[in-house]
Amino acid sequence: MSKIIVEGSNRLSGEINVQGAKNSVLPVLAASILCRTPCVIHNCPDILDVDTALRILKHLGCKCQKQGTTVVCDASSITNCDIPENLMREMRSSVVFLGAILSRFKRASISSPGGCELGPRPIDLHLSSLKALGAEIEEDHGYLQCNAENGLYGKEIHLSFPSVGATENIILAAVCAKGKTVIHNAAREPEISDLADFLNRAGGKICGCGSDTIEIEGVSFLNGIEHSIIPDRIAASTYLCACATANGKITLNGVIPAHMISVLSVLRDAGCDLDIHNNKLTISVNGRLNRVPTVRTLVHPGFPTDAGPCVIAMLSRAKGTSVFVENIFENRFRYIDELNRLGTKIKTEGRVAVIDGTDHLEGASCSCTDLRGGAALVVAALSSEGVTEINNISHILRGYDNITETLCGVGAKIKLVV
């Protein structure tokens, strides 16, 4: 079983080129099946979730090639309209392929994604929206059978919650539907805008992304294009928290600071010195951080739930007590028991975590419960005395491109043992 070994208490120093965004590349790869000529997608991170997405595309009949951080996807000879259960299980966000498959084939069959490590993860908003566009959806032996024999038709859709995945699925289903779709209370995350940029340059007519009302005028076809995935704001936040916790000075290259305003504000409150020049962000930290006012996760542009675990790990080393409230997912604190093995003093009740800062963490053996919780263990381990062994790291590899090499490059003593 592979694991990550960290020898803590080394200051970080140097530069990191931030990977492409996991949460952008997945819907963009799904969108590529709507294009009648090949797509060339640059800045794809080398992560397990991209490998899973490519396996889904190959299963559907796409020709995919990956070279470095570029993926070429040719969906002209696509034949299948189902996603096998094993691939759905590996990555619950595979559900974002549903809208695209339905648009291309007028039918789709996927296994129900079920619950996950962050608590129940319903897809009711995805399904009710696709039904509003004209799909009939039945559950059959754990599979969702979707049919839109008469095609998909634009509609006004009011989301009761601005779900990221549901917004993406609606865009993918509506971009080639007949007529106009309007999404009210749409998600405003930057990854939605990246998907719309991709589709618009391929011939789509989508406007309003970044606001809570998105309008999509259906077009009859899309052409393949070249596209570069936006930087991963969550990976960037992870490296900032690593530096804040371990101390030192690092520069992140290729970030979009405007996507990270709420995280940067918490880092400033904690006493980190941040210097921003266009797409370069330098953090320098000496000594212990300060406690911060209560952090609450919210939809974008609020504080992102995915940045929570690493910020909690960072605050566990601060002077004083901080409070963190998780508003997006029901059960996101499972990793905290593992973090506490290193000596952090964090108590949780329901959606609230109370973090008593400590000046001493001690390396220990621990295990990842989920992707961002796993990254939080790495962040805490970097400032712990002695050696930390992190197990069950496939979670981390789902979303971080070469995390051990990246951190070694800035002076951390960390290695991947396979």
**Run of H or E residues at 388:** strand 387-391
Is position 283 an interface residue for ligand UD1 (rule: CB under 6 A)?
no
312 is a site residue for ligand UD1 (CB under 6 A): no
Binder among 53, 125, 240, 339 for ligand UD1 (CB under 6 A):
125
Q: Which stretch, 2-10, 118-126, 282-290, 357-365, contacts ligand UD1 (CB under 6 A)?
A: 118-126
Q: What is the helix, strand, coil percentage profile of the chain, to 5? A: 35, 30, 35
**Binding status of residue 146 toward ligand UD1 by CB under 6 A:** no
Q: What is the size of the binding site for ligand UD1 (CB under 6 A)?
A: 21
Among 19, 32, 163, 245, binds ligand UD1 (CB under 6 A): 163
Q: Does 161 bind ligand UD1 (CB under 6 A)?
A: yes
Return the residue of 104, 126, 227, 233 that touches ligand UD1, per CB under 6 A: 126
Give dist(CA 24, CA 46) in Å, integer. 13
Who contacts 324 (Cβ-Cβ below 8 Å, separation ≥6)? Answer: 294, 295, 296, 308, 311, 312, 315, 352, 353, 355
Contacts 24+ apart (CB under 8 A), 127-130: 129/157, 129/159, 129/166, 129/169, 129/170, 129/173, 130/98, 130/99, 130/102, 130/169, 130/170, 130/173
In order of 37, 243, 249, 253, 259, the CA distances from 256 in angstroms are: 30, 18, 19, 9, 6
Instruction: Answer yes or no: 116 catalytic.
Output: yes
State how far the Cα of 290 lies from the Cα of 270, in Å rounded to an integer. Answer: 5
Residue 239 interacting with ligand UD1 (CB under 6 A): no
Among 116, 146, 272, 310, the active-site one is 116
Of 210-218, 274-282, 298-306, 335-343, the window that binds ligand UD1 (rule: CB under 6 A) is 298-306
H and E: helices and strands count for the chain: 14, 24
Query: If binding is defined by CB under 6 A, does position 348 make contact with ligand UD1?
Result: no
- Is 115 a residue that touches ligand UD1 (CB under 6 A)? no
Using Cβ positions, the residue closest to ligand UD1 within the complex turns out to be: 165
Question: Nearer Cβ to ligand UD1, position 187 or 264?
Answer: 187
Contact letters (x/-) for ligand UD1, 240-269, by CB under 6 A?
Answer: ------------------------------
- Interacting residue with ligand UD1 among 4, 12, 18, 26 (CB under 6 A): 26
**Residue from 328, 364, 393, 410 binding ligand UD1 (CB under 6 A):** 328
The least distance separating ligand UD1 from the CB of residue 93, rounded to whole angstroms, comes to 4
Query: Does the protein bind ligand UD1 through residue 122 (CB under 6 A)?
Result: yes
Token pair for 268: 């400033």
Q: Is 221 in the site for ligand UD1 (CB under 6 A)?
A: no
- 39 lines the binding site for ligand UD1 (CB under 6 A): no
CA dihedral 170, 172, 178, 183 (to 10 degrees): 30
**Whole-number Å distance between alpha carbons of 371 and 96:** 19
Give the number of other CB atoms < 10 A from CB of residue 39: 26
Burial class of residue 98 (count of CB atoms within 10 Å of its CB; 0-12, 13-18, 19+): buried
Minimum Å distance from CB 319 to ligand UD1?
29
For residue 288, the one-letter residue type is R
By annotation, the residues acting in catalysis are 116
Interface residue list for ligand UD1 (CB under 6 A): 23, 26, 93, 121-126, 161, 163-166, 187, 191, 304-306, 328-329
